[in-house]
Amino acid sequence: MSGNGLRDIRPAVLALEDGRTFRGRAFGAVGAAEGELVFNTAMTGYQEILTDPSYRGQMVIMTYPHIGNYGVTPADEESGGAWAEAFIVKEVCRAHSSHRAGGDLAGYMNERGVPGIEGIDTRALTRHIREAGALKAVLSSDGESEEALIRRARSSPGLDGRDLVRDVTCSGPHAYGEGGDRPLCVAYDLGAKRSIFAELAGRFDLEIVPAGESAEDVLARRPAAVFLSNGPGDPAALGYIVENVRKLLGRVPVTGICLGHQILGQALGGKTFKLKFGHHGANHPVQDAATRKVAITSQNHSFALDPDSLPPGIAVTHSSLNDATCEGLRSEDPRAFSVQYHPEACPGPHDARELFDQFFSFCVGE
């Protein structure tokens, strides 16, 4: 805010690799960022979205027009940092109102180095991505020309073929939660959200290991189950993780969520592909093939598992009602179970949270 109480206006430009540009007002951190554009359809949960490591390499467009109205709080952080490359909204709210709030969204983003842009037509931008597919882009408030930003967007790396897990995994093995006398779950941190680990720690004794931990070191801990977390980037670029999971199969039950689902599918012999514009939001309908029940789920992924590439004996347990993509798999030999969505529901509806109980029962036989 300026001294006379008026909002400071700093122009910003969002430039897409296909030559389209959007002009608006900057908020958050000053500077430039590049990444692949995705849109998120959640109405709330913007702080969880910013701090979800799965958004490493991506610039997030919020389709809900008014973002920031309840402020920010440490309780809603899903990791120790903000991972989205940039935040794109119709209007950012600077006069937040909530008894939980410890600050405002713009200030939070500024402290964590995340640039944002408001005042653009996010509906038009979202429709453009739905038609054109995933696009690389650059957001800048540095005064660069549109032509220079478009060239920069075209030369940026995008997501294809990139291992971004190395950027977000933990630095070393560590215990999570209080522990006790329960079955041990060893969880690979591929860029996990804290709320997922919290759900697991409510059922297992939990140990977290980094993405590069060998299968031999994991088995030496004598786990009752191995869990593969969510995370960013192209699953086809993670051959070293897939190989370790392949060594675990048949020796210990393996479960996974989101990127972990895609890793498990590859370890079982399947292949992944890139979606046209991905699934990002808290309102994705998923149907259970056995019960025919539909759950509204939280999702965040740009790649998917090809069910036709899975070998015999691997059952597709869940499917998306939006585009029929594979949302879950199960195998009894080897024992493996995974889903594409985020059942911990942070943010999102709680329809699928019971899945963690299913994970426990599947792994320990109760």
Is 2 a domain residue?
A: no
DSSP string, 333-356: TTEEEEESSBTT-SSS-STTTTHH
326 among known catalytic residues: no
pLDDT at 200 over 90: yes
**What is the edge-to-edge ordering of all strands in the sheet holding 326-332?**
174-176, 205-210, 184-189, 225-228, 254-257, 335-339, 326-332, 315-320, 271-288, 294-306
Is 249 a domain residue?
A: yes
pLDDT classification of 1: cutoffs 50, 70, 90: very low
Number of domains in the chain: 2
Q: Which of 132, 155, 178 is the last residue of a domain?
A: 155
Percent of the chain's residues with pLDDT above 70: 96
Catalytic residue among 258, 326, 346, 363: 258
Q: Give the whole-angstrom CA distance, residue 111 versus residue 84.
A: 14
Is 301 a domain residue?
A: yes
Angle, alpha carbons 61-64-133 (nearest 5°): 40
Using one digit for the tens of pLDDT, what is the confidence trace for 72-86? 999 999 999 999 999
342 among known catalytic residues: yes
Beta pairing, strands 66-67 & 91-92: parallel
pLDDT at 6 over 60: no
Q: Which of 103, 124, 155 is the last residue of a domain?
A: 155
Q: How many CA atoms lie within 13 A of 14 on its CB side?
A: 30
Is the preceding peptide bond at 334 cis, omega within 30 degrees of 0? Answer: yes
Using one digit for the tens of pLDDT, what is the confidence trace for 139-176? 999 988 999 999 999 999 999 999 999 999 999 999 99
Average pLDDT, the chain: 93
Is 23 a domain residue?
A: yes
Is the preceding peptide bond at 347 cis, omega within 30 degrees of 0? Answer: yes
Catalytic residue among 185, 301, 344, 346: 344
Same domain, 181 and 261: yes
258 among known catalytic residues: yes
Catalytic residue among 128, 261, 279, 342: 342
Q: What is the pLDDT of residue 366?
A: 59
Q: What is the pLDDT of residue 7?
A: 55
Q: What is the pLDDT of residue 179?
A: 76
Using one digit for the tens of pLDDT, what is the confidence trace for 210-233? 999 999 999 999 999 999 999 999
Domain that holds residue 294: 165-364
pLDDT at 8 over 70: no
| 138 neighbors 33 (Cβ within 8 angstroms) | yes
CATH number of the domain that residue 83 is part of: 3.50.30.20
Using one digit for the tens of pLDDT, what is the confidence trace for 315-350? 999 999 999 999 999 999 999 999 999 888 777 667
Is 319 a domain residue?
A: yes
pTM reported for the whole predicted model: 0.93
Is 3 a domain residue?
A: no
| 286 neighbors 294 (Cβ within 8 angstroms) | yes
**180 or 90, higher pLDDT:** 90
Q: What is the pLDDT of residue 258?
A: 96
pLDDT classification of 182: cutoffs 50, 70, 90: very high
pLDDT classification of 9: cutoffs 50, 70, 90: confident
CA dist 220 to 108, 186, 200, 252, 360, Å? 42, 11, 20, 12, 21
